[in-house]
Each structure stands twice: as C-alpha cells, then as structure tokens.
Structure 1
Amino acid sequence: MTLTVPSIEIEEPQDADAPPSTPTTYQKRPASVYSVGGRPPPIIRAVSYQPSIAATTQQSNEHHIPPPSTPEEKSKFTRRYLAGVTGISYALFLIVFGLIAFITDAVENNARYPLAEVFALYMVATGIIYFVFLYVDIRLYVWRAQKALLELQRRRELYEEQLQRTAALNNGPTGALELGTPSANGVVEPATWQMAPLKPIPHDYCFVTGRHGEIIYLKLGATWFCFGLLIHSVLLLSYQGILMNSRDGKWAQCASNTTIAMEVLFLVYCLFLVFFFWKYANIVINRYRGLARFGIMHAIGTALAFWVLTIVRETVVAIRIKQSYYDDYSIEKNGTNLEIPDGRDTSMIAPGDCPGPEELNQVLASFSPYLYPFVIEFNILIVGLLYMIYANISKCPKKITVKGHKGHGGSHHGHGSVHGDHVSKGGGSVLDFDGKSVCSEHCDDTLDHEAQVKSRLVVYGDCQHASRGLFAGLILVVATIVVIILFHIASRDDDYRDTGILLDGIFEVTVLGIMILATIAAYFQTSKLDINPHPISRLDDVLLFIAIPAFFSETLFSMIPAFENNSILNGFIVFTQIVQVLLQTPWICDALRRCSNTEELQKKKPGKELVTFMTIANVSLWIYYTFAVKTGDFGDERYDYYGDVLWSILNHLSLPLIMFYRFHSSVCLVDIWRHSYEPGEMAH
C-alpha cells in the first residue's frame, strides 16, 4: 500500500497591501519599430522614414496600461483605507477632546460632572479590552500551530517506521517507497494507505526577526519608565486613599472614586502593555486588520492624551505649590489667617485646594516633580512601539521558502507559507514525500517563538576598541553624580546658593562643549563606514525628531531673559545645547545606516570609542536633567521674567521631551555600537 503523509498548508489570505499581479509579457518600454524582423529597414535616399503615430501609440498603450483590478481587490483597498483613515481621525479626536477636557477640568474643577476622568476611564478600559483580545488570539494561534506541527511530526515518524518495515520485508531497501503486505512468494505487494489531510493553518500572525525585531533597548526603556510611573501612581492612590479614609471626614470631600478607578486601570493598562511588548513587540498582524488599525490607533491616541493629562496635572501642581509658598509668606508677614475654600474637588490635581495631611502633601510635592517625567517619557516611547506594530500590519510575507528569503523583495520577516522546496498539498502518495520536507518556516518560528523571546534576552557585544570611551564615560557619570549632590547641598544653604548655581552652570556648559567636539570627531570617523543596504526602520528617526521642537522652544524662551539680565553663562548654556543637538541628530541618523563590510573596517572600528563615550554622556545628561534641575527653580531667572504660571507650563512641556531625547539618543547609539561595526547582512 502507499502511505500518504500530507504536509501542513498555510492559507494565504488575499492581501490588500500587495500590488496587483502583472502579465509576464510586461516591458519597461515598447519595442522599437526598428527591431521588427531583427534588422533595421532599408535606408531610402532623400526619403525620411516616419513610423505611424497611431500604431506607435496603440503599441505603447498595450505595454503600459496595467491590468484592471478585480472586484475583490477594489473592495479590500476601500476597506483598508477606510479603516486606516478612520483610525487616525479617531486618534486625533481622542487627543483634542482630551486636551479640552483636561484643561477645562483643571480650570473649572467641576466635581459634579467629572468629564475628564470618565473620558480617561473610557480610553483605558477600551485599550485593555483590545490588547487582552489580541494577546489571547495570538496565544490561541500559537497553540494551533504547535498542535499541527506535533501532528506532522507524528506522521513523519510513522512514515519512517513503515519505510524501515518495508525495507526489512523486502530484504533491504529497494528505493521504492511502497508499503503493503507480503504475498505468497514473499514479495510485498503495494497497497494504498490513505491518511486524512491536516487542517490548513491560516496565516494570521508572524514575527519580525533580526535587527528590526529585537528592539531590546526600547523594551528596557519602557520597563524603566513604567517603574517610575508605578511609583507616581501609587503616590497618587495613597493620597486619595488617605483622604477617603480620614477619621473626622473633613478630607473625604476631596477624594474621588473616579480618580481612584482611573489610576488603578491606567496602572494595569501600562503594566499589561509592557508585558505585551516584551512578548510580542515584533508581531505582524494579518488577522482582523481593520480592527487592528483601529485598536492600535486608539492606543496611540490614549498615550498622547495621557501625555497631555500628565502635563496639565503636574503644571497645576507646580503652580499651586508656588502659590502656597507665597500665601504662607504673606500669612507669616501680615499675621493673618488664610481661609481655605470648601467644596472643591482636586481629583485631577493635588494637593492645592484640599487640606490634606501636611506630611503627605510634602512627600507628594517633593517627589512628583521627579516622577512625572517618567509618565511622559513612557507615553512617548509607547507611541513609538505602537506605531511600529501599526506599520507592520498586513506585512506577513508570502511564498518564502525555508532555505532562504525568496519572495516579496527579500522581506526580512523570517516566515513563509510554502513548505520546504515543494508546494504544499492536501494529500498525496509517499512518492511525493521525500522524508526531508518540513513545515513552513512560518510555522516553525511560530512554534519556537517562546524560545526566541528568551534567547533575545541574551545580548552579546564586542567591546574591542571601546575601553577608553567607556573609561571616559564612567568619569563623566561620577562627575555628574557629584555635581548633583553638591547642588542639592548648596540649595539648602543661603550662603552657598549662588556658588551652587554657578557650579551647576559651569558643569553643564563644559559637558555640552565636550560632547560637541566628540560628536564632530565621531561624525568624521563613522563616515568611513560602509552603507548598510538593510538599515533600521525610521522609528528611531521619528522618536528623535519628536523632541527637537522642545530644544528650539527652550533656546528661544531662555535667550531673551538671559540677554535682558546680562546672564552670559545661561545664554551660552542654551546656545551650546542647541548646537550639540543639531550636530548629534544627523550624526545618529547617518551612523544608524552604516555597516562594516571590509576586514579593515571590522578590525579598526573607526569611531567606536567615541560612540561609547557619547552613549554614556547622553545617559549622564539624562540623569542630570532628571535629578538636578528640579532644585534650581529658586535660581531660574525665567520664572521672574515670564511669571510662575507661564514658565511652569512651558517648562513642563519642554523638559520631559529634552530628557526623552537624551534617553533615546543613548538607545540609538547602543544600536550603532552593536551593528554598525558588523557586515551588512549580519546587521540585517
């Protein structure tokens, strides 16, 4: 009998993103009239040869007009753009409505109609529902692929057993793959043994591999920022809980149940997003694509709306703290009592109007300025990761063989839908099965994805030609920590306050000057590297350019007070800062697209020490902006020039973006450090 061992089929849904098929006779330009017959026409003296315009036009049109689109292609094209444009419009609506609702709530503080909190609850709850659904659907798909692969493996083992048994009955392998029962003369008579074909596996999800799929440092950054967000949310929840559980009830009116629900759900939502990104940040969605475009855009709009919420809330807190300081000074000076108004809800702000516990107020006012940038940076980073998933929707490659990338222009997705070197079949005889064909690479990678996630946590790095840059960077980190400590000490003593401000300014301008020189030298060195034919995506470029407007606004708004007050040091600081950023950004964008294809470049590694130093230098500036600037409000001339309200708003808009730029620059430089000194195909 004949054993049938069918392989697994991968159903390839029609992709609306794929270009329509073209006929095989397509030519880039029409055939010349002189090429007819293989030789030019005879030249007739004194008679010009003019080909027929009508004939030439008809021939040209026949070659250049593409084939008509099918009704199914038209329908899918319409649905794709309808879902995409609607999702983007919906995300913009979330941002604009959130901006209006959050600002209105902070100004009016209407406790009867907490529109801002209800709107925030809607955004977070919808995001949780979608991502839980997406995670469960991915897990079910992985389980189905794993089950099908195990069944295929079982059938292969059965095939091998029957093959060995047949060879033994025929006194040795004959080369024929025929199974059956021995006849009277001892020869195996072939028979047919049909097996039910395996159920095809839809090509619903696949995973991006290689340099484009690991994004380990973005995941680490999201985890670190989520850690600060967790502390910030716990502080706000503790504040609301103490107000709600006050013994005499005088603070209960300041508590808000909707605020507690919003903070809890937002915390759960952020933690689940981090968990999802660690497992499936490289997911390529090919199932429910319209819903995916809408759901991812909802998450992007939610992140940007909470970015606005955090800025509004922390700006109001900063204004209230300064106003409280002036009120306390006025009370102490005039000897009068300040009456705090009742009936005001501070659900979206804290702790200005509510007479909460003074100890808790001091803790919240002291730590919140250091923690709120983590919330903003987390939301910015989440937008970048979500955009990467959105851009990969419906990008699962088709017809990629196991032995190599051979389809769709050599797509870098390591998955396919053709089994081995043969087109998959629903069934067949053992004559069609060579015992070597395997399931598609797509299914194999789906099965091994959990192991791939674990293996990607192990990061290898070549530290050759990086020791001096590492040593110089560590010295800079130590100097940064020492300056931060000295500045904190000096800020508490009136006798050393001016000295601390001067030390802080000299340190910042010195570090920026050193980084300018290092950037110029590194730019010159890395320009010697080869061009990478498979560079990283534009996500890093977008995340860098998001923060550049903050540097421009910081420079313009700081130059005017510096000139008015003849503050040469402050003016020089903002000038060197913008110059360094304008040099560093194009250098990073250029170096991300470099590789080392020659043995000489791989040996010399030009600029790697400077890349190492600049990585640590950007981290040190991130530490400096995070922990040192908050204590400098007393010496900031911009508060006197613009006023507390205006400069608090401008500062809360620009500072988190400046900090994020330093963090993401270090992420990009680590990627350069790892991949720009490898061959292009390895970096791919």
Structure 2
Amino acid sequence: MIFLVYVYTYFIKSNSIASSYSNRSRRRKIGYNSEASNHTGSFYLRVGVIGFGIGSMLHSGLIFGHYFEINHIGHPCSDILQAIKPVAHLCFTFIQMYFVFMNSKVRYDLQIYRLFQMCVHKYKTLARFGLIHMSGTNICVWLRSIVVETLHVIEMEERKKREMTVMSQVMNSTALTLQNTTVRSPALTTFHDGSLPELDCHFDAMMGKIVEKSSVYLYPCTIEYSLVCACVLYVMWTNVGDVVSGKRLQSIETASDDGLSRDSTEDEEEKTNIMSVDCAGSSRGLFLGIFLFVICVICLICYYVLASSEEHRTAAIVLSHISEDIIYVLALAATSVAAFHMRQMHFSFAREARIEEILITYFVDLRDFFYSAGLLIYGMFSIVASLFYLDTLEGGLTILTNLLMMIQSSTQATFTLAALRASASHRSQIEDKPGKQYVTFLLIANFALWAINTFETQRMEHNVVQVQFYGSTAWAIFSHISVPLGIYFRFHSTVSLSNVWKKAWKHKHAQHHNLHKGPH
C-alpha cells in the first residue's frame, strides 16, 4: 500500500506542477502501443478484477460491521486489531484495483503518460521492489484466505456436531441444569482458544449470521482477485524499463499538430469500435447460449429447493450432475465444431504470449494439455473416491461428471490458446466469420459453468461421495483449494473467449496488404 500511495502522490504532485501548460497540450493524445502494453491484459480482464474486487470489499465491510456486535470489554474478540484488519484490507483492495484498472488499453493524455513513465520507469529499482512486493502480498492474501475459510468450514462442521450433542444432553437434563447452561451472552460464543480470532469467535447476532452465510460466496472473490492481481503485477514487474523509444514518443507528441485530420479519423474509428458491438455471425450462438444459461439457473434454483429437504436430497444430486453433464457435452461439441470451422484461419505463433494465455495455463504444464490445476485436483480426487462407490447412483454420476469436466476443460484450453492467435486470412472469412457462432455459445456456456462452480460445487450436499470417503475435514481442505481455482479457470476462459470473439475474425494490421479477396 505504501508503494501505491507513493505512485498516487507522485501523480498529484507532478500534475499540479504541470498544470500551467495543461490547457495547451489538452488536445495532444498518445496512441496505445499494443506491443509495449500487452502485459497489462485486456479490458475484459479488468472488468473481472473490478467484479471480484467489489465482492472482496463487501466481505471486508461485513466483517468490519461484524466487529461492532461485540460488547465484551477486554475480550480477545473485541481487540481493536479485529476492526483494523478488514478496513486495511478494504482500502488496499480498492487502491490496488484502481491502479490495475488505470493501466489498461486506453488512450492517455500525453501528460499522464509522461507521469507514469517518470514514476515507474525512471525509478526502476523502486518500481520493481514495489510491484514484486505487491504481487507477493496478493499471494499471501490468497493463501491466507484459503486457509481461514477452510478452517472456518471445518469449525462449522464441528459446531454442528457439538450442537447435536448438547441438544441430546439438554433433552435428558433437568430444568435446573438447563438454566445453569444458558447464562452465556447470545451475541458471542467462544469455542476454543486458538491463534485466529476468525475461528475462535462465533457471532449469533444479525451481522454474524450474514457474514457466515455470505462468506461461502464472497471468499472466492478475494481468492480470485488476489490471484489475478498477483499475476498481472508480476508480469508488469518483468516489463519495468520496457518503454517507448524517444523517436516514438516525439512522433506521438507532434501527431496532433502535423496530422490532425488523421487523428480525428482514428478517434472516430476508435469511438465506433467502443460504442458498437459486431454481433454478425453470432446471433444463433448467442441466443442458444442464453437459453442454456436460463436452464442452468432454473436447475440451480431447483437444486437449492430439493437439497433443503432430506428426502429429496438424492434427487437434487442427480439433477445437478445431469445438468452439468449436458453442459459439458454441449461445450465439448461446440469446441470441436469451432476448431473445425476455424482450421483455415491464419495462426500467428510468433507473438509474445498475452496475459490471458499466461493466466489460463497457470499452474499447468504443457504436457498435461493445459489442464486447469483446480479442475484437475478436484476431478482426480472425486474420481478416486467414486471408485469405491460404483454400486451407487451417486458414485457413477460423479465419475461421469468429472471425466467430462476434465476432457472438456483440457480441450477448450488447447482450443483457446490457439484461437487467441487466430486472425482472418481471407476477406471471405471476415464476411462469413466461420466458427463464431460456436465460440459465442462456448463463451456463455463457460459463464454458466462459472455460476455452477460458484453456487453449487462448493456445497457439502453436492459432494456426498467425496465426504463419505475422505471425511468432512479432508474434503473441506481439498475443495477449498481446488474449487476456487476451477472458478478462476472458468472466469479466464470467458475472458479469453471474449477476446477471440472480438478479434479473431478481423485481419491484423501487418496483414492488411497481404489480405486475399478469397481463398485460392
């Protein structure tokens, strides 16, 4: 956070000094250099960072409000540090989110660009130290969030067992014994003395219940946000000092004076690209994907309704597995057909890998066909557990679902890595857009799978076979490590497919003069 404060202080100070000639250079724009800034990622990636950052800040805000329900003076749970930690995390998340988003692919005012160059590239040692420290901080937050939430789920399971034991004892106790055991405050219950107040203190008041019920959905936001920021900041760290040359900067400075009409044309073209979305060649895939997503939401709602009843829990498990299997089969078919239709396009493998390609293969070796680490861990552990329950319906469905998941994810990741480097080789491909329908459908299917992984896969009721085989404690550890990475994989697949959908059926500027009118 100190490094971020330094960056913003430098901007404010330098901006005030340069304000005397700001009006004169207001019309001077700097063009975006894609070769120098690919490491910062796409606009879609930053939208995801904002979404996950908002979820992380909501979680921190709820924990902060949680603190004020404690009225036990001198109690360890009422320590002022328990209020400072969520506030500090909220501020760090917001400031870093703004920093990451503002280094996106946009046209900056020349003055702002110079300030950034001076602040980051002039003081290279300080910039490298600050960026790598921020990346390491995000990794630490990521690991701590996984550990705390895993231990919290284990504590909740133990609490349920204790409550059942206490209830059985209360039923057999006398009225006097019952009166002596209910003298505790209803707002706070301490279960054991440990090293983490997040685990030692359980709150039964309103905010405590809200935090407990919402944390299962909000904690993945902290994990995803920290992981994405750590990767982006690390790649930025590797590019410190990679600046635009002096001739390039000088030509940009004089562009508005020597070629105003050309800049105006480019500005109009840029505005057109920003304000409009080319849906040509993707309408059927779009609406089929929307229909699939609606069916997915209906199945999620039905799952929650059925899972709340003990007698319908088996039906809920069957419904969830069948709906997932259908989506995996359709997504696998869309991937295969899209790859077939796009096989004649131009693929450039000479370019440096973009951040989306780095993120989608994070923790994955090329020899493993770009498996997502989270999906690989989750699938393998689930299949191993299900092998001992082959005689049950849940065991067979678990094996089928996880096999389809692993096949679909590896096939899709390989296709996405190649499609990110695809471009139209003929003018007919720009007009016909072969494969775009299926890429559109695949994009929305990944969003549906992201929703399933977020709201369904993490629940203990969804993993009956795994819990019976490994135990609730061991499976809580496995799932809280692997499921967030699976959510991460689906999110970045959506981001990468968005870039494919937007850019693959256009010709690159370098190929403009070599673009054929049709295939030979």
Q: Does 1:552 align with 2:376?
A: yes
Are the counterparts in 1 of residues 456 and 462 from structure 2 also a CA contact under 8 Å? no
Aligned to 1:344: 193
Q: Counterpart amino acid of 1:530?
A: H
Aligned to 1:317: 152
Q: Does 1:278 align with 2:101?
A: yes
- CA 1:359–1:148 in structure 2 vs 1: closer, same or farther (change >3 Å)? closer
3-state SS of paired residue (1:546): coil
Are the counterparts in 1 of residues 52 and 225 from structure 2 also a CA contact under 8 Å? yes
Are the counterparts in 2 of residues 529 and 594 from structure 1 also a CA contact under 8 Å? yes
| Distance in 2 separating the partners of 1:145 and 1:532 | 43
1:637 offset after TM fit, Å? 1.7
Q: Does 1:262 align with 2:85?
A: yes
| Distance in 1 separating the partners of 2:222 and 2:272 | 27
- CA 1:608–1:153 in structure 2 vs 1: closer, same or farther (change >3 Å)? closer
Cα deviation code 1:7-43 (max 9, x no counterpart): xxxxxxxxxxxxxxxxxxxxxxxxxxxxxxxxxxxxx
Q: Does 1:475 align with 2:310?
A: no
Pick from 165, 168, 187: which aligns with 1:330? 165
Q: Counterpart amino acid of 1:318?
A: V
Aligned to 2:8: 135
| Distance in 1 separating the partners of 2:426 and 2:203 | 67
Are the counterparts in 2 of residues 281 and 385 from structure 1 also a CA contact under 8 Å? no
Q: Does 1:530 align with 2:354?
A: no
| Distance in 2 separating the partners of 1:683 and 1:387 | 32
3-state SS of paired residue (1:306): helix
1:313 offset after TM fit, Å? 0.8
Q: Counterpart amino acid of 1:317?
A: H
- CA 1:416–1:333 in structure 2 vs 1: closer, same or farther (change >3 Å)? farther
| Distance in 2 separating the partners of 1:208 and 1:253 | 54
Are the counterparts in 2 of residues 615 and 669 from structure 1 also a CA contact under 8 Å? yes
| Distance in 1 separating the partners of 2:507 and 2:169 | 74
Q: Counterpart amino acid of 2:434?
A: P
Are the counterparts in 2 of residues 420 and 437 from structure 1 also a CA contact under 8 Å? yes
| Distance in 2 separating the partners of 1:280 and 1:635 | 41
| Distance in 2 separating the partners of 1:218 and 1:293 | 23
1:392 offset after TM fit, Å? 2.7
- CA 1:359–1:279 in structure 2 vs 1: closer, same or farther (change >3 Å)? closer
Cα deviation code 1:185-224 (max 9, x no counterpart): xxxxxxxxxxxxxxxxxxxx99645883672111110111
1:520 offset after TM fit, Å? 1.1
| Distance in 1 separating the partners of 2:478 and 2:340 | 36
Aligned to 2:122: 287
TM-score (norm 1): 0.62
Aligned to 1:240: 67
Moved more, 293-302 or 459-468: 459-468
Q: Does 1:220 align with 2:44?
A: no
- CA 1:499–1:286 in structure 2 vs 1: closer, same or farther (change >3 Å)? same
CA RMSD, Structure 1 to Structure 2 (Å): 3.4
1:250 offset after TM fit, Å? 7.2
Aligned to 1:390: 237
Are the counterparts in 1 of residues 429 and 505 from structure 2 also a CA contact under 8 Å? yes
| Distance in 1 separating the partners of 2:234 and 2:354 | 11
| Distance in 2 separating the partners of 1:602 and 1:262 | 53
Are the counterparts in 2 of residues 472 and 613 from structure 1 also a CA contact under 8 Å? yes
Q: Counterpart amino acid of 1:329?
A: M
Pick from 213, 223, 230: which aligns with 2:57? 230
3-state SS of paired residue (1:458): helix
1:654 offset after TM fit, Å? 0.5
3-state SS of paired residue (1:286): helix
Are the counterparts in 2 of residues 256 and 347 from structure 1 also a CA contact under 8 Å? no
Q: Does 1:366 align with 2:202?
A: no
- CA 1:387–1:683 in structure 2 vs 1: closer, same or farther (change >3 Å)? farther
- Structure with greater proportional helix content: 2
Are the counterparts in 2 of residues 399 and 418 from structure 1 also a CA contact under 8 Å? no
- CA 1:396–1:147 in structure 2 vs 1: closer, same or farther (change >3 Å)? farther
Q: Does 1:299 align with 2:134?
A: yes
Pick from 662, 675, 680: which aligns with 2:490? 662
Moved more, 382-391 or 249-258: 249-258
Alignment of 1:384-423 (within 5 A): 384-401=231-248, 415-416=249-250
| Distance in 2 separating the partners of 1:348 and 1:301 | 24
1:365 offset after TM fit, Å? 2.3
| Distance in 1 separating the partners of 2:164 and 2:191 | 22
Cα deviation code 1:363-403 (max 9, x no counterpart): 322211111001100111112321342233111121435xx
- Over the matched positions of the two proteins, sequence identity in percent amounts to 23
Pick from 240, 253, 276: which aligns with 2:76? 253
Q: Counterpart amino acid of 2:294?
A: V
1:667 offset after TM fit, Å? 0.5
Pick from 354, 365, 385: which aligns with 1:561? 385
| Distance in 1 separating the partners of 2:272 and 2:85 | 34
Are the counterparts in 1 of residues 290 and 444 from structure 2 also a CA contact under 8 Å? yes
- CA 1:418–1:455 in structure 2 vs 1: closer, same or farther (change >3 Å)? closer
Q: Counterpart amino acid of 2:142?
A: W
Equivalenced residues, count: 465
Aligned to 2:518: none
3-state SS of paired residue (2:311): coil
1:584 offset after TM fit, Å? 0.7
- CA 1:343–1:671 in structure 2 vs 1: closer, same or farther (change >3 Å)? closer
- CA 1:515–1:438 in structure 2 vs 1: closer, same or farther (change >3 Å)? closer
Structure of larger gyration radius: 1
Aligned to 2:225: 378
| Distance in 1 separating the partners of 2:127 and 2:504 | 34
Q: Counterpart amino acid of 1:511?
A: I
Q: What stretches of structure 2 of length at least 5 have no aligned partner?
A: 106-115, 364-371, 513-520
| Distance in 2 separating the partners of 1:683 and 1:574 | 42
